[in-house]
Structure 1
Amino acid sequence: MKFTKWVQGLNRSIWLGVALSGGLSLTACSQVATVEEKPSAPSESKLSPQLLSQEALESAQHAQQVFQVLAAELMVEKGYPADAFNVMFPLAAETREPELAKRAFELSMTTYDEQAIAQAAALWAEVAPQEPAAWRVAYFMSLRQNQLPLALEQWQTYRQYSDATLEEDLLLAAQRLSRSAPNDAIKGFFARLQQESPEVWQAYYGLGLLYSVWQQPDGAIAQLEKAVQVLQQADKASDDAQQDAVQQIYQLLSKVYLQLDNPQPGLKGLAGYLKQFPQDWLVQERMARLEVKAERYKAAEKRYQAILKSNSEATTSRLSLALLQIEMQKYSQAAKNLQLVVKQPAYESVGYYYLGVLSQQQNLSEQAYDYFEKVKVAPYAVDAKLHQSEIVFSSKGLDAALAVLDSVKMDDDESRVKVYRAKAIFYRASDRYADAIDLFDKALTIQPDNASLLFSKAALLYEEKRYLEYEQTMQKVVALLPDEVEALNALGYFYVEQNVKLDEAAVLLNKALALAPNNYYVLDSVGWLAYRQQRYADAEEYLQQAVAIEADVEVVMHLIAVKWVLNKRAEAEKLWRQYRSQFADDSRYQSLMPTFQKQLGK
């Protein structure tokens, strides 16, 4: 009699009930295996195992195994499934019973140990060679472990026994693998399937789905566009089925386009599809978001209005339309849409929050405060308090604003950082720089690599003339954001201003200039660096470009200084007079030319 059939003969629920009540023991379990033996003579009560009959030995072994099964299930009932796996897997490996192997795999999933899961999956496939689920799990785990050749073998075996179509299995594979980290095996797996079945659009869609989940939009777009091409070339599908497939691809494609920094590929890529399928409101909504990203506000507004005309209950689109109308300064229309948004319970807090923002932008402070008071749900509740503190600071001062912030329930680190930052801003506005720095330090204790906090702290350190700390802080910002133009310029210009480490300044500022060649303050910094290096002609060229873009007082003063040192003193004086009235309140500017003339003895 096979072990599994014998175990299945037990009333498992009864024995688990005994186990949970504390009555299960090895002796009790042995009593279940009703081995028909003749009563032993007293002198034979301690017979050695080798003197027992073969049937008795097998039955005793089965009893021990039943106990192990029940013990493992008891562990599951008690909330220790990973411990249950450690009992069940060796038993399944010993008995090679398919049902136990399947159960061992189920328990392995609770361990979150990929090696354990892979071992259990391999055992299940080995002892149940015609079980498609076992081979599906096996190839899936091999791919997760970056074992492409083995995964392909297991995939082929799985396909022999799978009742699903190839198309269905490809989509299932992509969906399950989307929870895995990207690796070469997964990419190679779909590449091989594309080679073997180039006419199957799901092979391209599947890899496109994975790239989208992995936040690799360029790869996703290439695969999904290929899926569209393959689908359009296919003759097998009915018109309805093909339309459904096209819709499925473009709904994912529209999501991927939103991952790009540049909205133009999405605007171009979705235009033709929406002409053919104008009723696909999900893609219409994403197209509107792309239009907002491209600052094509009128087109986006019209699209959102069309969505709402089709479905007045599309609250997310209504909220997006309201925010767009705030940006377009269509305040009355935005307010009407937000009043509709707040009628939906799930959107009440976000609706009131933006009604507060809208009122604050219109300088309706009391109304804004009242709207913010109605915001109760995180994360908007904390942000609403920050806005209220801003309103109070303007009317009642620092202490009142701090009191509002002290009322915030800081249940998480994100909330704490927001409150510390807000307090620091108010302290800075009150010229209490040291207190502001202390609060930024508290926030940085929670988020030590928050570049925005570091940048804000650095500005205060500069004001306090704590230059060494400023330099160290800005070096960390640049390390965190190596392509951030403002950070590169801030540190580079600091070196120029202090007339130190000019070689390092050149590296920082040249990189900033390469990233932002038309940025006036970067041009100013590069020009002033050239001045420090006595490359006056270069300095004049950069500074004239900067002034042409933005006649900032600092930039104009730098250009005047360079022209003066180049002995272009008439040009310098003319330039100074040109902007004298514009910078009438700047004492440094007003005294600049008299200082130069005094140096000449005039």
Structure 2
Amino acid sequence: MKFTLSAARLWALRVTLCASACAVLTTTGQAQTTTEVEKVNNSALSGEMLYQILLGELNLRQGEPAAGFALLLDAARKTQDVQLYARAVDVALKARSGDGALMAARGWTQTAPQDRKANGHLLQILIALNQVTDSLVPLKKELSLAPEAERSLMISQIPRQYARVSDKKQAADIVQQALEPYLKNSATASEAWTAVGRMRLGDNNTAAALEAARQGIAANNKAVSPALLALELMGRQIKEAEPLVTQSLRRQDTPELAMSYVRVLIELQRYDNANEQLQAITRNFPQHADAWLVLGSLQFEQGQDLLAESSLARYVSLSANSDNENTARGLAQAQTRRATLLARQGKINEARQLLAQLPSRNADEQRARLLAEVQLLRENRQWQPAYELLANASADDVDLMYEQAMLAEKLNRLDDMEKLLRNVMQLDPAHHNAYNALGFSLADRNLRLDEAKQLIIKALTFAPDDPFITDSLGWVEFRLGNTSAALTYLNKAYKDRKDPEIAAHLGEVLWKLERTEEARKVWREALDIAPNNETLQETLQRLKPSL
């Protein structure tokens, strides 16, 4: 924006300001008729300069940020007042004038070269404007001005400051150049190399990031930051990073890094290695509750029921007296899985009693407890009790109403299902799952196929990339006899999501087209993923392919 103020505009504003001032003076004059005016210290600002500042502020109040900024910046330059420079920067930023903010920030730093606040503003504005090369000098100054006790923390925050710049390589080069002295200083080398590594990682230069992690660990083999960088590289399938992580783990006195290592191992689906690490953590740090929760969850997923129950019970015991949001979620997860373990033994009532002990101090916790019990009953094919639970609680909660509709379908109460889903659509016209569920249900039963297709197409308008809705569209096309269109949609859905139900539908269309070997291949893949899937098993029993 242009920062100019015409003479006519200035005169008009002076008249307005004088009128306002006269009104104020009249009021205060009346109030002082019986009171002695106290003597005050005179401001260092001249009357004319004070008037200019007030005029600038009045411009801002009247919605004229350009004029207000011009007056305040001019006042700052004439008085060399850092507070006025700060105010000018603030005005320009609020007006979204990057150039104006930069102009004011430069003036501020020239007036107060050792002012960290001024330099920090200049640095942030240059980065925001993508003037990365120009940010080198203020970045160096920011590092030199930081107190020694705060410097490592400040270094660790640099990658976040440059995260949104467009030229990642240039930013990485600038940061490494600014950090050069600190890469050689034993007190800061570890954090400095980590910052360089994160900048290189932002540029997808994994080789340079790996070398930075190696240098950071060499500078301080107890430091966690370079090890976390190595973990991130490990998550990106950089094999050379893992030895750096294990090297750092041997130097740690706390379990935090080891827990981060476990999470990466689980993401990489290396469950046996994750289990080994968790066993070591619980052995070396038996009071670390989260390790027991993750271990129990892993054992639960691997079908090690007795071990899972023992680990989850230990977590509950360690966390029972902790009162925070994370622990509340952890307890809900642990107790829900313990309830599932009981249900696997046929102890449904005991499982429901365990879930009844979950916290219900507020509406969110009550809802979570309800959904946990409904999920337990669904998994154990207890459709009627689950339906009744939701019938008593759904009211105008569209998500609960949707869950109730899905249970109505399981109970073959199709009229109730449709009524519930249409209520969901009325309450939330963009609820794509409701349109898809009703459309698919109709298609699956060969009912009102044209209407079913329209419902599914509407669902796709709200969630065009949802593979399950694409699967539904493929299935309704198949029911309508459009096998070519059906195959196109189902191939896309299966490519996007290797789901056993999508595989069942795709295989059936291929079978219908007499492409039997392709159908068998898809079904075999699905059996490897979920051998007990109902839709898949029903399809295979009906078509009886030899697999």
Q: Is the 8 A contact 2:504 2:523 kept in 1?
A: no
Match of 2:47 in 1: 60
Query: How big is the shift at 1:250?
Result: 1.0
Q: Is the 8 A contact 1:109 1:117 kept in 2?
A: yes
Q: Is the 8 A contact 2:275 2:295 kept in 1?
A: yes
Q: Is the 8 A contact 1:454 1:477 kept in 2?
A: yes
Q: 1:497 and 1:299, CA in 2 relative to 1: closer, same or farther beyond 3 A?
A: same
Match of 2:320 in 1: 342
Q: Is the 8 A contact 1:178 1:209 kept in 2?
A: no
TM-score by length of 2: 0.67
Other structure's SS at 1:101 match: helix
Query: How big is the shift at 1:195?
Result: 6.2
Aligned residue pair count: 478
Output one character per residue of 1:220-267: Cα deviation in whole Å (capped at 9) or x when no partner.
Answer: 8555413124447xxxxxx7x52245x321134436756x6x7x9599
Other structure's SS at 2:305 match: coil
Match of 2:391 in 1: 402
Match of 1:191 in 2: 173
Q: Is the 8 A contact 1:513 1:523 kept in 2?
A: no
Query: How big is the shift at 1:456?
Result: 3.6
Cα distance in 2 between the residues matched to 1:559 and 1:90: 85
Q: Is the 8 A contact 1:427 1:433 kept in 2?
A: yes
Query: How big is the shift at 1:500?
Result: 2.4
* Higher RCO structure (Cα 8 Å, ≥6 apart): 2
TM-score by length of 1: 0.62
Output one character per residue of 1:535-559: Cα deviation in whole Å (capped at 9) or x when no partner.
Answer: x4xx133234356665855357658
Q: Does the alignment pair 1:358 with 2:341?
A: no
Match of 1:251 in 2: 228
Other structure's SS at 2:220 match: helix
Letter in 1 for 2:105: A
1:146-295 paired onto structure 2 within 5 Å: 146-152=130-136, 154-155=138-139, 158=141, 162-164=144-146, 172=154, 175=157, 178=160, 182-185=164-167, 187-194=169-176, 200=183, 205-206=194-195, 208-209=197-198, 219=204, 224-231=209-216, 242-245=220-223, 247-254=224-231, 268=242, 272-274=246-248, 276-277=250-251, 279=253, 281-295=255-269
Match of 2:119 in 1: 135
The structure with the largest alpha-carbon Rg is 1
Q: More displaced, 272-281 or 164-173?
A: 164-173
Output one character per residue of 1:319-371: Cα deviation in whole Å (capped at 9) or x when no partner.
Answer: 32333343332343022432332232333564255324422441244444444
Q: Is the 8 A contact 1:288 1:304 kept in 2?
A: yes
Match of 1:582 in 2: none
Q: Is the 8 A contact 2:109 2:119 kept in 1?
A: yes
Cα distance in 1 between the residues matched to 2:70 and 2:284: 56
Other structure's SS at 1:345 match: coil
Match of 1:99 in 2: 82
Q: 1:103 and 1:211, CA in 2 relative to 1: closer, same or farther beyond 3 A?
A: same
Q: Is the 8 A contact 2:275 2:298 kept in 1?
A: yes
Cα distance in 2 between the residues matched to 1:170 and 1:112: 34
Q: 1:353 and 1:556, CA in 2 relative to 1: closer, same or farther beyond 3 A?
A: closer
Cα distance in 2 between the residues matched to 1:388 and 1:519: 25
Cα distance in 2 between the residues matched to 1:119 and 1:350: 51
Match of 1:570 in 2: none
Unaligned runs of 5+ in 1: 1-18, 36-54, 233-238, 411-415, 561-574, 580-602
Letter in 1 for 2:305: Q
Q: Does the alignment pair 1:540 with 2:524?
A: no
Query: How big is the shift at 1:104?
Result: 1.3
Output one character per residue of 1:156-208: Cα deviation in whole Å (capped at 9) or x when no partner.
Answer: 6x36x933599987973662662676231565222334368779476663365
Q: 1:257 and 1:90, CA in 2 relative to 1: closer, same or farther beyond 3 A?
A: farther
Q: Is the 8 A contact 2:309 2:341 kept in 1?
A: no
Cα distance in 2 between the residues matched to 1:524 and 1:451: 21
Other structure's SS at 1:437 match: helix
Q: 1:60 and 1:166, CA in 2 relative to 1: closer, same or farther beyond 3 A?
A: closer
Match of 1:385 in 2: 370
Q: Is the 8 A contact 1:527 1:540 kept in 2?
A: no
Cα distance in 1 between the residues matched to 2:81 and 2:259: 50
Output one character per residue of 1:112-163: Cα deviation in whole Å (capped at 9) or x when no partner.
Answer: 956375454334224334545423321221211222344346546x36x933
Q: Is the 8 A contact 2:72 2:88 kept in 1?
A: no
Please provide the CA RMSD for this pair.
5.2
Q: 1:312 and 1:485, CA in 2 relative to 1: closer, same or farther beyond 3 A?
A: same
Query: How big is the shift at 1:382?
Result: 2.0
Q: More displaced, 87-96 or 315-324?
A: 87-96
Q: Is the 8 A contact 1:29 1:67 kept in 2?
A: no
Other structure's SS at 2:280 match: helix
Match of 2:305 in 1: 329
Q: Is the 8 A contact 1:211 1:220 kept in 2?
A: yes
Q: Does the alignment pair 1:372 with 2:352?
A: no
